[in-house]
Chain A
Amino acid sequence: MPKDSNVGASPKRREDIRFLTGRGKYTDDIQIAGQAHAVFVRSQVAHGAIRSIDTSAAKDMPGVLAIFTGADFADVGGNPAGWLINSRDGTPMKEPKRPVLAHGKVRHVGDAYAAVIAETADQARDAAEAIVADIEELPAVVNMAQALSGSTYVHDEIGTNQCFDWGWIEDNRAATDAAIKGAAHVTTLDLVNNRLVPNAMEPRASTGDYDPGTGEYTLHTTSQNPHLTRLLIAAFVLGIPENKLRVIAPDVGGGFGSKIYHYGEEALVLAAARRLGRPVRWTASRSESFLTDAHGRDHVTRIELATDKDGHFLAFRTETMANVGAYLSNFATVTPTFLHGTLMAGNYTVPHVYVNVKAVFTNTAPVDAYRGAGRPEATFSLERVIDKCARELGIDPIELRRRNFVKPDQYPFTSAAGLQYDSGNYDALMDKLEELADRNGFAARRSASEAKGLLRGFGVNSYIEACGIAPSNLVGILGARVGLYDAATVRVNATGSLAVMVGAHSHGQGHETVFPQIVADMLGIDPASIEIVHGDTARIPFGMGTYGSRSLAVCGSAVVRATEKIIAKGKKIAAHMLEAAEGDIEFAEGRFGVAGTDKGVSFGEVAFKAYVPHNFPHEALEPGLEETAFYDPANFTYPSGAYACEVEVDPETGKVTIDRFVAVDDFGNVMNPMVVTGQVHGGLGQGIGQALLENTTYDANGQLITASYMDYAMPRADDLPFYTVDHSCVTPCTHNPLGVKGCGEAGAIGSPPTIVNAVIDALQSGGKPVTHIDMPLSPARVWAAMNA
């Protein structure tokens, strides 16, 4: 058994002391003397031509220091897309400029076209209201199909609303078509993956500062990856020398993807700070968050599954329209393509897969990665059509999946969608699921529900996803404009305590607890002596931040590599101290010893000697004990899982209640089971929110109807069941040193189809011929489907 604090144990999260006692330090908590306040003037219309902006009245109002409009940024760069996608015909995607402030046109409700800086936020708001903009409203492009067929363009300069038309894998298209044409059975399903507002508890906030004495800029901001933000601002948007820009992302209250990206507000506060020579701060209101945070999902898909007469999968073919909104957010183009299409073989040995994705500009907020990012869309499409197929063929849904699973002896397995799965055991997951879900007891529970006048359904799902997106040399070929490694520096202090500087950013994930467990295990020391440093470009090595469930698999691996270097360096020092050959030094349990003897020195003694090197041989042995490692994975990691849920549906009202939910996941090796369980719980909450509650609706004019919690339904505690979570089925990742796969998004990926499958099962048990309902399965929608 692990000790209380080692890898495999569940020490409580050290960061929770400050979070739960109100001592977290978020961007808005950081007050800088002399600060001024920015307020943005945002478009009330979805699409409009800016004829003029009159700031004359506003600039003379009390406290006003400066007013910016799009014209002030016309000559600087735009916020770029991070991934180039080529269309099927080989042409590159359309990349219209995304300016700091809208210029010429506004393209969605909430698009900022001016900003006021004033002594107080209220003064800035007053002045913002006094700005008179003559904006000629244009027809709004909202519906994706109409966007593709119409002649009103979100970006006139590209002459189309189609960003790209991507085929994956284009060379497989003909074979897939042929397989479907010749199949004994084809199941077709049209579905919508509903658009979501991220709703991080902490709204976005940014404070820009400029020191004329040094020429250095500092940006405090709500970011999941401060180095990426610095790079984008420096290299693309404002041209600030990277060495003169420090980006600090302090405690961040949730991101779920929405804080990966660079936003114009960050550039604005920096430019304003430069002009005024004062710090300039901005914190989004909740309304601004709804209108301007990058939204998630929003796919419209037709999927076909071809099988033989026994239910063996022959081909999946999908056609998807993916909404990218009004501008390309940084990873808007990779999310519906390589994070979606490559997963369209699922856990299955299906020989043919073809995925077509058309990305569409609309007059709506930008859409980008949101917890799961492409994999929830893939899993939902696959697992819904498989469920429908099972009903059509009269095959038990678990049996149908098992019949097509990749088997344990087939790894490494190259899927028909082009990925090489390194490890997994989907039957073992399903075995565990059937046990924990007590499928044998379902009939009795259904009878009990029926006695209460309720319909009970059982839904199942199996998923595979891809985390720790890498390696850099592969993704570069596929169009990535960034590397996808991560980095860690391990600094041993003279007294033997440690600071570990990591590129990953923790905004709820528990890095500050789990990374020390790993290092402490390797060094045989107390985790309490290890401090994790993250979120400040001036203090950490260049890392790529946190997204895609990558922190442990990628940054954790860098931590391991850097710690290995510490041990190697420690051996050199110990060899010198013990007057032994370096090759004879063994390190175990926090002690460097000479093999075959009882001679040895402790880790602490070596650390002290490293910094008090009074007798080190000059130039042969370097002082200090600090090492950095960059880790670039050899492959994605492939978490997988099997989920089941039971719902009760009230046939009189359409209300769905989740009664039982079992999540069985293979995350590879588990470092801290409690933290992993917490991550799964969070993902399930968001997946259940998508399945039952969350709905982002724009009207035909491009107005966001669900722009507050009065109409946007977030999951609350009483919407969620008590979960059964298991991660005991372990097939370690074969290519990273910890054997870990990533757990942050699984719950949000695996749960939506599980729930919809269960509701369909419930309705059919009640004699309702319902085969699909689009999410969210609100009472009104379920009732309407039952009574159609």
Chain B
Amino acid sequence: MYAFEIERPTTIAAAAAALAHDGAQALGGGQTLIPSLKQRLASPEKLVSLTAIPEMRGVCLSDAGEVCIGGATAHATVAAEAAAHFPALAALASHIGDPAVRNRGTIGGSLANNDPSACYPAAVLGTGATIITNSRSIAADDYFDGMFSTALTEGEIITEVRFPVPQRANYQKFVQPASRFALVGVFVAQYAGGVRVAVTGASEGGVFRWAEAEAALSASFSAAALEGLSVPAEGMIGDLHGTPEYRAHLVKVMTKRAVAAA
């Protein structure tokens, strides 16, 4: 690890001001950044911790019935506090990493990093959630921009994520055996206006919506409705843990299982 300074602001405004300096880097729960620092793969001059800002922590229900999660809320908190209102989201949070990861890692950190195998992007895109930052609101469909890339600008802070609560939903994760990140993860959510299906882990383009499945499930919310559909292998990730063909196959299997379990 190289030497760096660290600030722990207690307001969003102070955090934004601190991040305005060149060489400053936001620090959420540190579950990706700290290992990178320890391996000397990153060398920020200053870390700005976002986890000491009370207004960015916790889970609540908005007047519109959305589940609102502060950007610095740990996965374990989501698992516990979202369970009553949005059990599928709570279940997803409860299976990220291990207890240490869940007690440190934050939803804002996960979404800002946008690891192509992370779980939260599937929930955000699969629900059409809204990302609230210190300067604007971003619709999920406008937020994700390929692996490790998002609509966030330099220094922009995810302060909150607002999830519209579906009629029913489920997340199915098939884990990569070593990291236990999603080799393929599928979030399925049914709303009055239709069904959304978001897939993480599989695509070289990062999290994506499976439009054909959404149409089929909007017409008939059943695993049988997916018969005959398939995801092309082209553009899927191929690595030690699975070929593009395998991942494409798993997308359908996990989607069917999510529908059945929703």
Contact = CB atoms under 8 A, between A and B. Distances in A.
B44 interface: no
B243 A780 contact: yes
A458 B95 CA distance: 31
A710 B97 CA distance: 12
A709 B174 CA distance: 17
B246 A783 contact: yes
B64 interface: no
Contacts of B229: none
B246 A287 contact: no
A713 B178 contact: yes
Given A287-B39, A705-B240, A779 B253 contact: no
A695 interface: yes
Nearest to A780: B242
A710 B246 contact: no
A714 B40 CA distance: 25
B250 interface: yes
A780 B247 CA distance: 9
Contacts of B250: 653
Instruction: Name which of B39, B177, B179 has the most chain A CB atoms within 10 A of its CB.
Output: B177
A770 to B, nearest CB: 16
B249 interface: yes
A713 B39 CA distance: 20
Q: Classify chain B: how many residues form its interface, as a range.
A: 10 to 19
Secondary structure of the B contact surface, majority rule:
loop
B241 interface: yes
A346 B177 CA distance: 33
B241 A780 contact: yes
Nearest to A705: B240
A275 B10 CA distance: 52
B254 to A, nearest CB: 9
Contacts of A693: 177-178
Given A125-B40, A713-B177, A778-B177, A784 B243 contact: yes
A296 B241 CA distance: 21
B253 A652 contact: yes
Nearest to B181: A710
Q: Which secondary structure dominates chain A's binding surface?
A: loop
Given A652-B253, A778-B241, A710 B178 contact: yes
A125 B40 CA distance: 10
Contacts of A652: 253
Contacts of B1: 122
Interface in A725-748: none
Interface in A654-677: 655
B240 A709 contact: no
Given A287-B39, A653-B174, A783-B249, A710 B241 contact: no
A787 B250 CA distance: 13
Given A125-B40, A287-B39, A778-B177, A711 B240 contact: yes
B178 A709 contact: yes
A68 interface: no
Contacts of A709: 178-179
A695 B240 contact: yes
A441 to B, nearest CB: 29
A653 B241 CA distance: 12
A771 interface: no
Contact of A711 (B174, B178, B243, B246): B178
Interface in B187-231: none
21 contacts: A122-B1, A287-B39, A653-B250, A655-B174, A693-B177, A693-B178, A705-B240, A706-B240, A709-B178, A709-B179, A710-B178, A711-B178, A711-B179, A713-B177, A713-B178, A714-B178, A779-B177, A780-B242, A780-B246, A783-B246, A783-B249
Given A779-B242, A780-B246, A783-B249, 7 more contacts: A653-B250, A709-B179, A710-B179, A711-B240, A713-B178, A779-B183, A780-B241
Query: Nearest 4 CB-CB pairs, A to B?
Result: A713-B178, A713-B177, A780-B242, A710-B179
